[in-house]
Amino acid sequence: MSETRIGIIGGLSWESTASYYRFFNELFVGANAWSQPQLLIDSVDFGAIVPLQRECNWEATGEILAASAQRLECAGATVLGIGANTMHVNFARVQDAVAIPVVDVRDAVAKESLGSGHHTMGLLGTKYLVEGEFYSDRLLELGVTSIKPTEEQTERLQFIIFSELTGGIVTKGSRAYLREVASSCLERGASIVGLCCTEFGMLMSEEESFPVIDSTRAHVRALLAA
């Protein structure tokens, strides 16, 4: 049996990639206390991605991610993950670019939500993810209905992500606001909250007083099981 070597398309942002690396090593169960998963990380330039996101030029971001996936495959990866929720808008483009499997974070989130008995999830993420349909439609296909933040809440979360979290800035005010938005989604019918922006794990954990899925942890668990 060939050994698994996980490839991650990283740099989306560097804080996001750092979380992936930490969780891979925290959640991995190996032969002894020093065992680590075999990982390959291709860190793209987030400075090239953000302007394209703002233009909604997903074709161009798809080309960048597809090239990254091919580099990882050539380097010996046996399975891939896109290290950002929003960039799963390019999931099909990435999967088409390589012959090895790509593990979808949306599938991982849906599986864990349904596995814990939750069919309605508060969907917290970037403006592109919340206002788009690529994420919520996939969850719905798998049996999970999304409750989304309001437009005003989404705009403020977008500011927190790109003006604070992607630069490593964590504030008490932003931590409190994320919980406020989560509570709002729960009040409107969600039974679980999905942290579907990797950086939101810097503000909230799966150890809250209400049910939470950290998409990064869910994705890592799925990649380790692949």
User: What are the extents of the domains in the chain?
Assistant: 6-104+221-225, 105-215
Mean pLDDT of 51-74: 98
Mean pLDDT of all residues belonging to the chain: 96
CA angle 34, 13, 35 (to 5 degrees): 10
Residue type for 159, please? F
Q: How many Cα atoms sit within 13 Å of 18 on the Cβ side?
A: 11
Beta bridge partners of 10: 43
Q: Please, where are the H alpha helices in 90-214?
A: 91-97, 105-115, 127-131, 134-141, 151-163, 172-187
Residues 213 and 220 sit within 8 Å (Cβ to Cβ): no
- Helix (H), strand (E) at residue 208: none
- What predicted TM-score, i.e. pTM, was given to this entire model? 0.95
What mean pLDDT do residues 35-57 have?
A: 96
Q: 117-150, pLDDT tens digit by residue? A: 999 999 999 999 999 999 999 999 999 999 999 9
For domain 105-215, is the CATH number 3.40.50.1860? Answer: yes
- As a whole number of angstroms, the distance between CA 219 and CA 226 comes to 10
> How sure is the predictor about 11, in pLDDT bands with cuts at 50, 70 and 90?
very high
Q: Is the pLDDT of residue 2 over 70?
A: no
Is 18 in a helix, a strand, or coil? helix
What is the topology classification, in CATH, of domain 6-104+221-225? Rossmann fold (3.40.50)
pLDDT-derived band at 3, boundaries 50, 70, 90: confident
Q: What is the pLDDT of residues 156-178, one digit of tens each?
A: 999 999 999 999 999 999 999 99
pLDDT of residue 1: 41
Report percent pLDDT > 70 for the chain: 99
